[in-house]
Structure 1
Amino acid sequence: MTRNALILIAAVGLAAAILILWRGSGATGTAAQDQAVIALGQRLYVDNCASCHGADLEGQPDWQTPLASGRYPAPPHDETGHTWHHADALLVQIIRDGTAAVVGDGYKSDMPGFGDVMSDDQIAAVLAYIKSTWPERERAIQSRITKDSAP
């Protein structure tokens, strides 16, 4: 065998090994799984959240000004709101239990808990969808906040 033939065989073998390792790592399925979770989250958001927080995650007008009832309008979940300022655990708790239950001390809110409507996996999917709409800067900050708040 010539030297060039041996190099070609070695290169093909190396490429095959890399392909096998890459496929075995789940790299091809991960992106598809992430997109499926985001798509599920978007459907759940439309069904359960958009009526208050907006179809485009824009929230209600003047969301930082209390209503006559003393309660606040629904905030946006896009980058103009404060959702990305909170760790995942708190966001899950608010969605599952409702804002009043999380804040406590007699706090009143129109945000109900969805724990009887959505499973924890479905709540995580809604958060995955919301986060997928944020610019990279907000996603990075929120990820760091989540990591810093972990026990």
Structure 2
Amino acid sequence: MRRVIFATLLALAPIATQADHAFQGRDLDRGAQLYAGNCAACHGANLEGQPDWRSPGPDGVLPAPPHDASGHTWHHDTPLLLEYTRLGGQAALNARGVTGFNSGMPAFGDILSDAEIMDILAYIRSTWPEQARQVQAERTHALPAE
């Protein structure tokens, strides 16, 4: 079991530590298709998110945010976006010690491979203006080395 976990961590290390390069060589067409099939139902066909995405619903859960430049996806580092998609929002936040936030984002780790998730993230990232892409890359690079 430890060998499997260690091998997985080694395989993910380049994704988490080389953010500006992480999106190079990604398949944007595949990312767009995977986004349409797995993400658009909640986040919108045009990455526009759900209405009133900043206000929790009656259940206390925030609606799906936009992934275009009007949203906050580009404010987050690549490892968090990968974890958030793989584990689901609540599990990813809990793992980082974030409390008081109810995420409705389901886990896609059993549905999508890390490579597929990275293609989706690359597609989303490709729609942002250069400044948003730069900020997101800088935030990823500001992470401490593990």
* Fold agreement, TM-score > 0.5: yes
Distance 1:150 1:91 in 2: 17
Instruction: From 28, 32, 35, give the equivalent of 1:38.
Output: 28
1:108 CA displacement: 3.6
Distance 1:63 1:107 in 2: 13
1:103 CA displacement: 1.6
- Check whether the contact 1:96–1:115 (CA below 8 A) recurs between aligned residues: yes
Instruction: From 105, 116, 131, give the equivalent of 1:111.
Output: 105
Q: Counterpart of 2:63? A: 73
Work out whether 1:97 is the aligned partner of 2:87: yes
Work out whether 1:145 is the aligned partner of 2:139: yes
User: Could you say if the C-alpha distance between residues 80 and 106 of structure 1 is closer, same or farther in structure 2, counting changes exceeding 3 Å?
Assistant: closer
Secondary structure at the counterpart of residue 110 of structure 2: coil
Secondary structure at the counterpart of residue 131 of structure 2: helix
Q: Which has the higher contact order (CA 8 A, sep 6+)?
A: 2
1:150 CA displacement: 4.9
**Structure 1 runs of 4+ off > 4 angstroms?**
none
Secondary structure at the counterpart of residue 58 of structure 1: coil
Distance 1:107 1:83 in 2: 16
- Check whether the contact 1:100–1:106 (CA below 8 A) recurs between aligned residues: no
Q: Which runs of 5+ in 1 are unaligned?
A: 1-32
Secondary structure at the counterpart of residue 149 of structure 1: coil
For residues 39-58 of structure 1, what are the alpha-carbon distances to aligned partners after superposition, in whole Å with 9 as ceiling and x for unaligned?
11000000000000000000
- Counterpart amino acid of residue 55 in structure 2: T
Distance 1:139 1:150 in 2: 20
- Check whether the contact 1:58–1:76 (CA below 8 A) recurs between aligned residues: yes
- Check whether the contact 1:58–1:75 (CA below 8 A) recurs between aligned residues: yes
Q: Which runs of 5+ in 2 are unaligned?
A: 1-23
Figure out how many residues of one structure are paired with residues of the other and give that number: 118
Could you say which structure has the higher helix fraction?
Answer: 1
1:102 CA displacement: 1.3
- Check whether the contact 1:84–1:142 (CA below 8 A) recurs between aligned residues: yes
- C-alpha RMSD of matched pairs (Å): 1.6
